[in-house]
Amino acid sequence: MSVNKVILVGRLGRDPEVRYLPNGEAVANFGVATSEQWKDRNGERQERTEWHNITMYRRLAEIAGQYLKKGSQVYIEGRIQSRKYTGKDGVERTAYEIIANEMKMIGGRDMGGSSSDFDGGDYAASSSASAAPVAAASSVPPAAPRREVNKPAPVVDDLDDDIPF
Amino acid sequence: MSVNKVILVGRLGRDPEVRYLPNGEAVANFGVATSEQWKDRNGERQERTEWHNITMYRRLAEIAGQYLKKGSQVYIEGRIQSRKYTGKDGVERTAYEIIANEMKMIGGRDMGGSSSDFDGGDYAASSSASAAPVAAASSVPPAAPRREVNKPAPVVDDLDDDIPF
Amino acid sequence: MSVNKVILVGRLGRDPEVRYLPNGEAVANFGVATSEQWKDRNGERQERTEWHNITMYRRLAEIAGQYLKKGSQVYIEGRIQSRKYTGKDGVERTAYEIIANEMKMIGGRDMGGSSSDFDGGDYAASSSASAAPVAAASSVPPAAPRREVNKPAPVVDDLDDDIPF
Amino acid sequence: MSVNKVILVGRLGRDPEVRYLPNGEAVANFGVATSEQWKDRNGERQERTEWHNITMYRRLAEIAGQYLKKGSQVYIEGRIQSRKYTGKDGVERTAYEIIANEMKMIGGRDMGGSSSDFDGGDYAASSSASAAPVAAASSVPPAAPRREVNKPAPVVDDLDDDIPF
DNA sequence: TTTT
DNA sequence: TTTT
């Protein structure tokens, strides 16, 4: 028995990148920034920003592609997952990402999200999605040449690229 | 405004490693395993274990050093923090760790933890600890040659080693 | 957009009480204790126990009925929900309960739970369960004369009793 | 060992009510609404709103009094606590409230909160506050005749009123 | 009592 | 790469 839970509230650095697995399942990737402020011992205001790589599958991925935009503020629940990969430089590294199983749009108004088609909402991964991790390949982030996003999202044959995030 | 929160329940893979910063502050590092089970599309039982690198400071670090052992089951609350470092091979990598601000011992009994001196308990990082991240150096995990643990923990002069975790 | 999330780790005060709605859906009710200890300003050790009324539906309810027992340690995730009811004394009161959507058995071994048939596990409410609250009546806790539990659980016609929890 | 944690994101129904204990400690009370939407079996859109009674102490209470307003969107972390009281009608009831130990203002802009003096921020209860529950009396909500709020908050002699929330 |  |  164990628990591996992450709760984030932050903003997207870019529009989500949505891709499709050979079996038709959608996969969305995007970064979410959280930042903390504090005063150091000299009383100086400090800030530190952390970028979280988010991965969503299926319906959640599709919703992200439709409604989330660069700058959108989101509440995300998920789990931490690490993954080994070999970079173009032939070096093995470990990437970590948050596999989301729940997402809620925050703040609403129109920052990142056209209020005309949508005004806030919350979504959960299908039960099976949350229980059954998809094959490793599916959680590999987009390759070097970025493609169009939120558009006629291309069906890709192989997500097994060598560059993470 | 943002939220960066992690909740874990899992077991330690080793005894915690406790070190001391030049200013006398304790820093504890240890790994916690969480695992998930699921059935794949062929109905085969699958399991995946994730190892989380935990970092604790100050009082929480000292308590970890005193009461946690390899195999101990713990509840941990903290935040995700990443950190760039250059390995011995000269390659730059990013490590992620969980900076804990709360810890509770679970299950008790005698698996990992002598019930004679202690029977469960919960601890929170001092408010300032949670608000003010210590200098980056302090969150660097132990160097290659492992030292004694939970013992007359040595005061180290420099935590700026080049190997993470 | 809003978030209403509760995370509990505690022990059951009794075996779960499982009942069935007219439509065949299972409903489980049980109390979980959490306690906090602290030292008051006189340095005296204080303790306070809180009892949480847990409600589970469907598969989660059935699993609770099968595997949870008085004394079992559980991790529960859910939401807070209040409910007005009128007691036998004709007085209206408000009860609050935790509608669980995830449950994990902790600690294992044999305290509350026969390790022969089971060794820990985690369960999530079906997506629809979490999305669609059942009619108010279904969340009403068992009436005064306690019935058999974890057994050939009786199909009840009406859960609209007037005593909460 | 146990965990009793609540995470809420919602909006204040009214300005916080801040009072002071005889010892000078501030206590803030306010309601936060969370709501869930779902479609029932007839495909009809349903909504249910839950009101959570929030209690904050000390610095957190003062910050709430200063920066939170009716309509403000907040992230709150705390624990569930119940409390018995006898109403004016002589009937004993149990009230539940969320004792907050962390609060973050969300969304910013000017809905509920003058962006001139403040633009988002996060606050944690002092460590001692979170560890040591204040005397029961202190968590009793405001009595019938509402007093001024967010103003020269009066020092009250006794919070032992008989009406909760 | 909030908000969309 | 976000935002205040």
- According to the 3-state scheme, what is the secondary structure of chain B? CCEEEEEEEEEECCCCEEEECCCCCEEEEEEEEEEEEEECCCCCEEEEEEEEEEEEEHHHHHHHHHHCCCCCEEEEEEEEEEEEEECCCCCEEEEEEEEEEEEEEECCCCCCCCCCCCCCCEEECCHHHHHCCCCHHHHCCCCCCCCCCCCCCCECCCCCCCCCC
Percent of chain D past pLDDT 70, that is, above it, reads 67
Q: Is C105 on the interface with A (CB under 8 A)?
A: yes
**A109 vs D contacts (CB less than 8 Å):** 107, 109
pLDDT in tens, C69-116: 999 999 999 999 999 999 888 999 999 999 999 999 987 644 443 333
Going by pLDDT thresholds of 50, 70 and 90, the confidence category of residue A143 is very low
What are the residue ranges in chain B where pLDDT is below 70? 108-121, 126-165
pTM over 0.85: no
Spell out the alpha helix ranges (H) of chain D: 58-67, 127-131
Q: Is A50 on the interface with B (CB under 8 A)?
A: yes
B79 CB contacts (<8 Å, ≥6 apart)?
A: A36, A50, B4, B5, B6, B98, B99, B101
Cross-chain residue pair A120–C3, CB shorter than 8 Å: no
Going by pLDDT thresholds of 50, 70 and 90, the confidence category of residue A126 is low
Contact D54, D61 (CB under 8 A): no
Nearest CB among D2, D75, D121 relative to B3 is that of D75
The span from the CA of A64 to the CA of A79, in Å, is 17
Q: How confident is the model over D107-115, as a mean pLDDT?
A: 44
- Map tokens 């395993």 to a residue: B33
B109 CB contacts (<8 Å, ≥6 apart)?
A: B115, C107, C109
Going by pLDDT thresholds of 50, 70 and 90, the confidence category of residue C122 is confident
Å from D18 (CA) to F4 (C1')? 27
Q: How confident is the model over C52-60, as a mean pLDDT?
A: 97
Structure confidence at residue B112 (pLDDT): 41
Query: Which one is predicted more confidently, B40 or D137?
Result: B40
Our CA angle for D83, D86, D89, nearest 5°, is 145
The span from the CA of C107 to the CA of C122, in Å, is 12
**C125 vs A contacts (CB less than 8 Å):** 127
Cross-chain residue pair B132–A94, CB shorter than 8 Å: no
pLDDT at A161 over 80: no
pLDDT at A102 over 80: yes
* Beta strands at C73-86 and C45-57: parallel, antiparallel or unpaired: unpaired
Structure confidence at residue B87 (pLDDT): 87
Å from B1 (CA) to F3 (C1')? 8
Q: Is D13 on the interface with B (CB under 8 A)?
A: no
Going by pLDDT thresholds of 50, 70 and 90, the confidence category of residue A123 is confident
pLDDT at A120 over 90: no
The span from the CA of C38 to the CA of C46, in Å, is 5
* Distance to chain A for C82, nearest Cα, Å: 21
Which residue of A6, A58, A122, A127 is the best one to mutate when testing the C interface, meaning the one whose CB has the most C CBs within 10 A?
A127
Q: Is D144 on the interface with C (CB under 8 A)?
A: no
Going by pLDDT thresholds of 50, 70 and 90, the confidence category of residue D121 is low
pLDDT at A118 over 60: no
For the four alpha carbons of A71, A76, A82 and A84, in that order, the dihedral sign comes to negative
Count of C–D CB contacts within 8 Å? 96
Structure confidence at residue C108 (pLDDT): 61
The span from the CA of C15 to the CA of C17, in Å, is 6
Cross-chain residue pair D5–C4, CB shorter than 8 Å: no
Q: How confident is the model over D58-64, as a mean pLDDT?
A: 96
DSSP letter string over A69-109? Answer: -TT-EEEEEEEEEEEEEE-TTS-EEEEEEEEEEEEEE-S-S
Q: Is D132 on the interface with B (CB under 8 A)?
A: no
- Map tokens 């302090």 to a residue: B138
Residue A102 to residues A122, C37, D40, Cα–Cα distance (Å): 7, 33, 20
Q: How confident is the model over C31-59, as a mean pLDDT?
A: 96
The span from the CA of B12 to the CA of C121, in Å, is 19
- Left, alpha or beta for A109 (phi > 0: left; psi -120 to 50: alpha)? left
Which two three-digit tokens encode residue B91? 């390659």
Q: How confident is the model over D23-32, as a mean pLDDT?
A: 96
Contact B103, B78 (CB under 8 A): no
Cross-chain residue pair B130–D120, CB shorter than 8 Å: no
Residue B31 to residues B53, B80, B92, B98, Cα–Cα distance (Å): 5, 14, 22, 10
Residue nearest to nucleotide E4 (CA to C1'): A119
Structure confidence at residue C60 (pLDDT): 97
**D75 vs B contacts (CB less than 8 Å):** 1, 3
Structure confidence at residue C63 (pLDDT): 97
- CA proximity to A82, closest of B98, D26, C157, C22: B98
Q: How confident is the model over C33-38, as a mean pLDDT?
A: 95
- CA proximity to D41, closest of C128, B29, A151: C128
Per-residue DSSP letter, C48: E
Query: Which one is predicted more confidently, C116 or D30?
Result: D30
Residue C98 to residues A117, C16, C30, C118, Cα–Cα distance (Å): 34, 14, 10, 25
Going by pLDDT thresholds of 50, 70 and 90, the confidence category of residue A98 is very high
Q: Label residue B14 exposed, middle or buried (CB < 10 Å: 0-12, 13-18, 19+).
A: middle
Lowest mean pLDDT among A117-121, B67-71, D7-11, D12-16: A117-121
Contact D95, D52 (CB under 8 A): no
Three-class secondary structure of residue C79 per DSSP: strand
Structure confidence at residue D110 (pLDDT): 42
The span from the CA of D132 to the CA of A111, in Å, is 41
The span from the CA of C15 to the CA of C65, in Å, is 8
Q: How confident is the model over D35-64, as a mean pLDDT?
A: 94
* Beta strands at A3-12 and A26-39: parallel, antiparallel or unpaired: antiparallel
Contact B20, B156 (CB under 8 A): yes
Structure confidence at residue D94 (pLDDT): 93
pLDDT at C157 over 70: no
Structure confidence at residue A116 (pLDDT): 33
Lowest mean pLDDT among B154-163, C47-56, C117-126, D43-52: B154-163
Q: Label residue A113 exposed, middle or buried (CB < 10 Å: 0-12, 13-18, 19+).
A: buried
pLDDT in tens, A15-71: 999 999 999 999 999 999 999 999 888 899 999 999 999 999 999 999 999 999 999
